[in-house]
Structure 1
């Protein structure tokens, strides 16, 4: 991923993380515009089909969790999974796999840390972990 695209993705993720941490939700406007931008970017590459497939597969996994336990994972997380799944898939199967696996691990680790710290609010928004996992995978995994 080129530096300007990565910078825009990072800024978008930062806005989503701030909103999710502050309001415990991911706004449709941010996820929707992000999806449009990612699909537009993918159209300009040879990886459009891969991006759509990666987004659909990750969103389907998140949707199944959301339908089983709606309080555990919100619909915004499902939409964000579609976008970040598309971004990760455009950069290869390793990036997609690591970003998909790292996000729940980060959220679980934060949850366990809150338990040990006896923090009263034990809910952990998952959006920041999804963004962090994708950005880390993009930076650390070779193309």
Structure 2
């Protein structure tokens, strides 16, 4: 965080060292989940090659978004859009013979998810005087819904909220050790990405998932 010539605050992302460390934590987190899944034989990717490819595609997109959000406090539209489109394509290929219905349901779920975050951002701006959540997070949540449908939204929000609190504490600790003043903004994208990849790989653990 730096001050401009007019004394306004300009937000800057985490340092390369800090964001690289947190990205490494994300890679280890993903790898441990996948290894545990092999041990317990849980989740789609561990039972069919098709879902394993989906796990790889989703994981790559999530890691890219985590990096951008930690470094720049933003989620590029190009990546989130590509993630949403690939999610709908995987839905179409994996939900035969009801593919069109599944794609339409997931697309509508994504729209509802985005509008929900938009409403939350608007309400926080009106009530608190500042936007409590970024619209990039809304687009990311919509992309996640395109992958897994409406039933994923409650557990995603529940898990990512808890994970966000953990990441907040971790970031505060790292910033204090580096003697950097906290900006007051914690990126929520990494928590959403980790939660999405976790649910994709361990969908069998949730009774309301297809």
TM-score by length of 1: 0.82
1:69-118 deviation digits (Å, cap 9, x = unpaired): 363211211111110122232xx72x442112211222133224555777
Give distance in 2, aligned partners of 1:29 and 1:59.
Answer: 16
Residue in 1 aligned with 2:139? 79
Residue in 2 aligned with 1:19? 68
1:101 corresponds to which residue? 158
Q: Is the 8 A contact 2:85 2:146 kept in 1?
A: no
Give 1:33 deviation, angstroms: 1.8
CA displacement at 1:58 relative to structure 2: 2.0
The two structures have a TM-score, normalised by structure 2, of: 0.58
2:102 corresponds to 1:30:
no
Report how many aligned residue pairs link the two structures. 140
* C-alpha RMSD of matched pairs (Å): 2.3
1:123 corresponds to which residue? 185
Question: Which has the higher mean CA deviation after the structures are superposed, 53-62 or 114-123?
Answer: 114-123
- Measure, in 2, the Cα distance between the counterparts of 1:41 and 1:140: 17
Report if the CA contact (8 A) 1:103-1:129 is conserved.
yes
SS of aligned partner of 1:64: helix
Structure 1 residue 36: Cα displacement: 2.1
Structure number with greater Rg is 2
Structure 1 residue runs without a partner (length 5+): none
3-state secondary structure, aligned to 2:70: helix
